[in-house]
Amino acid sequence: MAADPEANPESVARAIVLRQLTNSPKSRLQLARKLAERNVPEDVAEAVLDRFEEVRLIDDADFAEMWVRSRAQSRKLARGALRRELADKGIDAETAEKALAQVSDDDEVNAARDLVARRLRAGADLSDRTERDKQTRRLASMLARKGYQPSAAFRIVGEVLDETLAGESESRNSGAYGGPGGGDIG
């Protein structure tokens, strides 16, 4: 949208902020960056953002809580990755920590286990040490990119691979000799 050069800069800034907030919730820093991109004078931008905070249309604490809840559920991100994302969006450390408190250790571990189970390649021969090592590296790297600590990532991947291997072994053994038509001929 090309701004009318005769337009009141404060009206232009309000329109930009309202449009941005209509698309999705934003932090104060994100909105300040957008106003700077649109060449809104800094003093006007500050005044408009202050007013939007006063009427609670901008609330970094609410934004941080919503962001953490959404990203932890949809992307299965760990607190480390969420903390970095919040910092990139201008959320201060104290506000970020309060928002991150809603993600428990159990939630994080369960999300990681679900991710590993979903991303485990079907048909991978986990009894082959080379293949298992390859899967372990691939899956632990995926978790690390999502903000999980390397030690936790390797532990969780190992547990899921062990459970998968035990489940495969159990299903092979239970179907091999039992059931109707199985057993000795004679």
Distances from the Cα of 45 to the Cα of 60, 92, 143, 181, angstroms: 17, 20, 39, 80
Mean pLDDT, residues 152-164 taken together: 95
Q: What is the mean pLDDT of the chain?
A: 90
> Are 29 and 79 members of one domain?
no
User: How far is it, in rounded angstroms, from Cα 66 to Cα 26?
Assistant: 10
In the block, residue with structure tokens 């809603």: 102
Residues 96 and 111 in one domain: no
pTM: 0.78
Question: What distance in Å separates the CA atoms of residue 60 and residue 168, rounded to the nearest whole number?
Answer: 48
Q: Is the pLDDT of residue 47 over 80?
A: yes
pLDDT at 4: 56
Average confidence (pLDDT) over 63-70: 96
Whether residues 66 and 89 share a domain: the answer is yes
Range of the domain at 21: 12-54
What does the pLDDT look like over 87-106, one tens digit per residue?
999 999 999 999 999 999 99
Q: What is the DSSP letter of 24?
A: S
Same domain, yes or no: 116 and 135? yes
**Averaged pLDDT, 25-30:** 97
165-175 mean pLDDT: 71
Number of domains in the chain: 3
